[in-house]
Structure 1
Amino acid sequence: MEDIILNILSELAVGREVDDRSLVKIINAQARRDAADKRAYAKRRLLPFYQRVKRDEPQRWASWGVTPELEEKLLAVLRMKPRRTASGVATITVITKPWPCSSDCRYCPNDIRMPKSYLHGEPACERAEQTWFDPYLQVSARLTALSQMGHAVDKIELIVLGGTWSDYPREYQIWFVSELFRALNDSAIADVAANPMLADNPSALDAAMCADANSQRDAGVPAYVAARRAFYRECGFPQTAEEFAAFAAEQQRAIDTGELNYNRAFARLYGESDAWVRATQMQSATLEELVQLQHANETARHRVVGLVIETRPDAVTPDALTLIRQLGATKIQMGIQSLDQQILDSNDRGIRIERIQRAFGLLRAFGFKIHAHAMVNLLGATPESDKCDYRRLVTEAPYQPDEIKLYPCALIEGARLCRDFDSGAWIPYTEDVLMDVLAADVLATPSFCRISRMIRDFSSNDIKAGNKKPNLRQMVEQRLAVGERVREIRYREVGTGLVDVNALRLDEVRYETSNTSERFLQWVDRDMRIAGFLRLSLPHTDYLADHVDKLPVRAGEAMIREVHVYGAVARLGEAGAAGSAAQHLGLGRRLVERACEIARDEGYTRINVISAVGTRGYYRGLGFEDNGLYQRRDL
């Protein structure tokens, strides 16, 4: 292992690039020299080895002659999946436990092992099930994996997915988020370097975490993780995927045959489970406890710079949003699917367009970033109606989300849509038609909106009909004609590329919604690549007056809904670690100052920011003061 590291360093020292192909050659050559299995020198083992030597054998590490410049290049070579943190933060997705759903859409999967609409084979769902949907354990597993792959985990965006958030009991909501903060504050990372066997595969790590508490320190697993896992074992929860499948088999069969719907099957399966009842009794916390954990996170090693909650438009109320904001959330994912009332009704969505419009208005007034889900090829839709529907979503005043998940409808066994497929009432688009629809949608997306995803993480084995290709987005982008201008944000992100700050200019995009005037400020280069942006909302006075008793903001107050600067993640307090990345160049500060100028010129006397817990200190440094649900600055 040491020879491989030294070979990489020697290549880098003379200015040669070491890409993945070069690294494979170095590894294979060393394996041949040692007459060893090349898998013993896998890339995932190299970084933990390097970190262990640097930490535990300083003299040996010093003999390698690693300068700060060389180390930066070496870590870039050893880091796995660099795009995971290319947007400036490390993302951790966690899943809430199965729970009854307030809706029963025709297209929705009904996997009783999961929250409604999710499948146990999706990566995040597999991790959640292995940890019994415990938020602390889920964060610990992801922190360990991201650290093992070489990603900085100083700035964390937490994405909470699962059932409709507000359908869960209030005490569970508070407990779940409290445990997320607790895990980050505890820095609950398994010590892979202390036990190299943990680096081989996730199941080895999982097996170590399941060992008895007395052996945890030797296994490199945090003691609190061991204790929490022991609690679930003592409750009598299934321990393996096979046991989970057996536990749910009877009720899943009843769902698949149409004998039971999800909610009735849930009541039978979980309502009669002593293990789930006992765990539920533990899953409770108070807001006072959460506030203490949030306060500690402001200066923790792993700071929460974004917290995302998933819900439905009909669950968006002032009371629900107040609690969600108290939890520290900054972004809301919301299932829209379609703006055609007939299509919504055909798919048993159970919601009116007027309710969707009201949800958008409330979310914007509360300062949340709005991440909408849109689906094409629903029952009753046509390619042309889908294109029209999407244009309405991204251009009409009541909507215009900040971010979109754009999915083609996929048929999953157990969904009620299977009957429509069998009867011929629903037919999946051909690949060519689907590409045409999605390409048109990409081109229609304005510059202030980001298309975050185009597929769900469904396994192709779970998809009965519909798109099964995981590289759908790449296929769509390849279909775009040469010279066609794509304005959506993700297509333009600088990502892991170099940023020439001198080539950047500040571009301002204005658009009107039903209750705000919006300003999207973006740092762009000559090719319109985006290095950072800010979302400024200027609320309409008449809307504020009509909702004066329901909103936490008052007339004369503007709202910064998001500030984001791209580039490779820089470790907090180590500005030099980012090299020429966009972060730590003062771009965020200049965006905020320009937003304040605009708000002042428009007659606003104060400006709020919907800051995340881990960014409160940053905004205090820009003159903002803590003020209830937000931080505020006088203009």
Structure 2
Amino acid sequence: MSNSDHAQITDDVSRWEAAKKETPETLAIAGKILDDVIAGEDVFKAIRSHPIPDRGHISKSSLITVYRARVAAGELAEDAGLYLKLRMKPSRTLSGVTTVTVLTRPFPCPGECIFCPNDARMPKSYLPDEPGAARAFQNEFDPYRQVRSRLRAYEAVGHPTEKIELLILGGSWTSYPIEYRERFIQRCFDAMNGVDSSDLAAAQRLNESAAHRNVGLVVETRPDELDPAELKELRRLGATKIQLGIQSLDDRILKLNRRGHTVREALSAVALCRAAGFKIVLHWMPNLLGATPESDAKDFARLWSADRGGLGFCPDEIKIYPTQLVKNAGLYQEWIEGRYRPYDTETLIELIAAVKPTIPPYCRVNRVIRDIPSHHVVAGNRRTSLRMDIQRRVRENRQTCACIRCREIRGQPVSPEELTLRDTVYQAAYAEEHFLQFVASDDKLAGYLRLSLPKAERPDVGIDELANAAIIREIHIYGQSLGVGEEADGAAQHIGLGKRLIERAVEIAAENRLPHLAVIAAVGTRGYYRKRGFRDGNFYMIRDVFSDNDRGENSAIQ
């Protein structure tokens, strides 16, 4: 990136921050807008009706400020419905947690992929004006500043911040020096805790009872960067979910695009992650060099279990990242010389709309396109509303998608009597998986638990406490993210679904003669699991399945 580009981004961010600053004038306008909303006016219509002279419109954070001030002064009674109307994008926290994304500093990547953007000022594959990357760039990639600024931004618009999933991006996490990785995560915890710590372990202990508790920690890396020792290190750091860029399930395509690993290596990495209890997010890229829409559709089918014609990757979540042609990637030269042709928007919509209904109900589709600003895209699709276009096409084709995201109950009130506990069993590579889910009559998903039962041929991750143990890899209860101990009528997070799911997991472990139930607990959830019979281990929390009386009558698989 040139100095002029750097200056432009900095200027844009500065102007944006200046526009957000509250003044007596903007607060007065916000008060008028709030009055209109209380009187029944639509929030966005009210905002447009009261522009700031020469400065655009009031932000929702200003409306929240005025609302809180009036409640504190006794001028307005607390009104949950009004507060919800004023909040910006409540859907951000309807999945049950609030996600804070941070980026690591630029660092050499071991890969030589021809499709990755290359910008010397950014971590590999990121551009400085992508939304999350721009925030990191503005904060000079400082982990503490990134987390604190994001928490303040969420709080300013009324989002709960008690339950935080920390998403660490920036290329191949495992290729960074261990000292940097440990310090980076420690400072993220310091930001959530609100105090500085002496070391990572101290920061983690503080977070167990902090105001902003870490309920999930996600890193991304390459399949060929993982081994049992690395997985142990990730657990020590507190990681619970791993994003892996597999990109394609065709060795020919991987080689053409200089990915640097094989399909077999990718499957081995996924099996290792599963055996260690991690949640697994896979990145898949249609329209790589050498691919066609027809080959991509066949490639996608190979992701799933053998009974579906697949290889057993069976990801818990997937990010579909159609290849986007940018100038500072090696693929650009292939296009210039006529060896690469990007799909047009219609072709992409047709392809993804065809494969999306085939996704099993245990998988969540996080993305169907990257947030690369359209001015970077040289040729091919530039449309950023691809998800909506795909959903529309699926409906036009009279099909449905049963993935988790399409079934989340979100803010819908629920009662236990309305829900059915369903056990979806599937065979992943070297493990039997149980996807326990509470569903409403319309198949909407209120909560789920991922339970992994190891097979004899599973890879050895070298962690003694996982021997003869079923592993809870995830518990997730949907509905608006609530504070710890906070209640809301009919909220799925507070009708005891988590406890019921755990007890069913104990029963399944007993049925399979496994004496222990392990859980890959995030730092901020340790207290929750202790209350439910789990004790602290070195890397996991453990609960005994059998009592002393029946322990001798049951033998575990070897």
Report the more deviating stretch, 87-96 or 45-54: 45-54
| Residue in 2 that maps onto 1:47 | 64
Q: Does 1:132 align with 2:140?
A: yes
SS in 2 for 1:62: coil
* Distance apart, 1:25 and its partner CA: 4.2
| Residue in 1 that maps onto 2:456 | 541
* Distance apart, 1:7 and its partner CA: 4.7
- Cα displacement string for residues 410-446 of structure 1 (whole angstroms, at most 9, x for unaligned residues): 0011111011111121101122221121112211110
SS in 2 for 1:536: strand
CA contact (8 A) 2:271 2:458 kept: no
**Aligned letter for 1:5?**
L
* Distance apart, 1:297 and its partner CA: 0.4
Q: Percent identity?
A: 44
Match 2:484 to one of 562, 572, 586: 572
TM-score using structure 1 length: 0.77
CA contact (8 A) 1:409 1:466 kept: no
| Residue in 2 that maps onto 1:409 | 323
| Residue in 2 that maps onto 1:424 | 338
- Cα displacement string for residues 183-242 of structure 1 (whole angstroms, at most 9, x for unaligned residues): 00008xxxxxxxxxxxxxxxxxxxxxxxxxxxxxxxxxxxx9xxxxxxxxxxxxxxxxxx
* Distance apart, 1:26 and its partner CA: 4.1
Match 1:522 to one of 437, 444, 450: 437
* Distance apart, 1:582 and its partner CA: 1.3
Give, in whole Å, the separation in 2 of the partners of 1:566 and 1:10. 32
Q: Does 1:23 align with 2:40?
A: no
* Distance apart, 1:9 and its partner CA: 3.9
CA contact (8 A) 2:452 2:473 kept: yes
* Distance apart, 1:343 and its partner CA: 0.3
| Residue in 2 that maps onto 1:479 | 393
Match 1:493 to one of 408, 413, 430: 408
Report the more deviating stretch, 39-48 or 612-621: 39-48
Give, in whole Å, the separation in 2 of the partners of 1:312 and 1:42. 40
**Aligned letter for 1:524?**
V
Cα 1:440/1:553, change in 2 over 3 Å: farther
| Residue in 2 that maps onto 1:165 | 173
* Distance apart, 1:340 and its partner CA: 0.1
Match 1:593 to one of 482, 487, 503: 503
* Distance apart, 1:160 and its partner CA: 0.2
| Residue in 1 that maps onto 2:26 | none
CA contact (8 A) 2:317 2:365 kept: yes
Alignment RMSD: 2.0
Give, in whole Å, the separation in 1 of the partners of 2:269 and 2:54. 57
- Cα displacement string for residues 7-31 of structure 1 (whole angstroms, at most 9, x for unaligned residues): 54454xxxxxx6xxx12444566x4
Q: Which runs of 5+ in 1 are unaligned?
A: 12-17, 188-223, 225-284
Give, in whole Å, the separation in 2 of the partners of 1:111 and 1:458. 13
Give, in whole Å, the separation in 1 of the partners of 2:448 and 2:353. 25
Q: Which runs of 5+ in 2 are unaligned?
A: 1-29, 546-558
SS in 1 for 2:118: coil
Structural mapping, 1:146-161, within 5 Å: 146-161=154-169
- Cα displacement string for residues 556-581 of structure 1 (whole angstroms, at most 9, x for unaligned residues): 21000000011011111111xx3322
| Residue in 1 that maps onto 2:211 | 301
Q: Does 1:176 align with 2:184?
A: yes
CA contact (8 A) 1:82 1:496 kept: no
CA contact (8 A) 1:533 1:564 kept: yes
CA contact (8 A) 1:365 1:551 kept: no
Structural mapping, 1:23-102, within 5 Å: 23-27=43-47, 31=50, 41-54=58-71, 58=72, 61-64=73-76, 66-67=77-78, 71-102=79-110
SS in 2 for 1:370: strand
Give, in whole Å, the separation in 1 of the partners of 2:466 and 2:63. 55
Give, in whole Å, the separation in 2 of the partners of 1:553 and 1:436. 47
**Aligned letter for 1:23?**
V
Q: Does 1:117 align with 2:125?
A: yes
CA contact (8 A) 1:27 1:38 kept: no
Give, in whole Å, the separation in 1 of the partners of 2:57 and 2:334. 51
| Residue in 1 that maps onto 2:473 | 561
**Aligned letter for 2:81?**
K
* Distance apart, 1:482 and its partner CA: 5.3
| Residue in 1 that maps onto 2:264 | 354
| Residue in 2 that maps onto 1:448 | 362
* Distance apart, 1:493 and its partner CA: 1.0
* Distance apart, 1:540 and its partner CA: 1.2
* Distance apart, 1:451 and its partner CA: 0.8
| Residue in 2 that maps onto 1:336 | 246
| Residue in 2 that maps onto 1:383 | 293
**Aligned letter for 2:467?**
A
Structural mapping, 1:254-333, within 5 Å: 289-333=199-243
| Residue in 2 that maps onto 1:202 | none
| Residue in 2 that maps onto 1:581 | 491
**Aligned letter for 2:503?**
E
- Cα displacement string for residues 339-374 of structure 1 (whole angstroms, at most 9, x for unaligned residues): 100000000011122211110111001100000000
TM-score using structure 2 length: 0.88
Give, in whole Å, the separation in 1 of the partners of 2:407 and 2:43. 29
SS in 2 for 1:110: coil
Cα 1:431/1:529, change in 2 over 3 Å: same
Give, in whole Å, the separation in 2 of the partners of 1:397 and 1:378. 20
* Distance apart, 1:529 and its partner CA: 1.1
- Cα displacement string for residues 260-279 of structure 1 (whole angstroms, at most 9, x for unaligned residues): xxxxxxxxxxxxxxxxxxxx
SS in 2 for 1:608: strand
CA contact (8 A) 1:494 1:531 kept: yes
CA contact (8 A) 1:366 1:552 kept: no
SS in 2 for 1:603: coil
CA contact (8 A) 1:28 1:38 kept: no
SS in 2 for 1:464: coil
Report the more deviating stretch, 427-436 or 174-183: 427-436
CA contact (8 A) 2:466 2:518 kept: no
Cα 1:484/1:175, change in 2 over 3 Å: same
* Distance apart, 1:38 and its partner CA: 9.3
SS in 2 for 1:611: coil
* Distance apart, 1:39 and its partner CA: 5.1
Give, in whole Å, the separation in 1 of the partners of 2:272 and 2:464. 11
